[in-house]
Amino acid sequence: MNKFSLFILLILSLIFPSFYDIGDVINHNHQNQPIEICHGEEEDIGKTIYLGDNDGGITVLGLSSWG
């Protein structure tokens, strides 16, 4: 069963690739969507950031899901 689940995950990741890849430019609609910080430094938790705040710069994101 585990191999089957891995196979399905692989197929789905090929069918539905991520929206952005390395070197892509983030469109303006996505730059204006709020992102709430839910993990990290104590003083940053709960803050809202926008990708457009760093317009013209290089943005490196580390996203993870625990659950």
State residue 65's pLDDT score: 62
The secondary structure of residue 7, as a DSSP letter, is: H
CA distance linking residue 64 with residue 54, whole number of Å: 21
Residue 53 pLDDT > 70? yes
Instruction: State pLDDT tens for residues 26-52.
Output: 888 888 889 888 877 888 888 998 888
What is the reported pTM? 0.49
**Quick one: CA torsion of 26, 31, 36, 42, rounded to 10 degrees?**
80
pLDDT tens digits, one per residue of 8-18? 877 777 777 66
User: CA-CA distance, 26 to 49, in Å (whole number)?
Assistant: 15
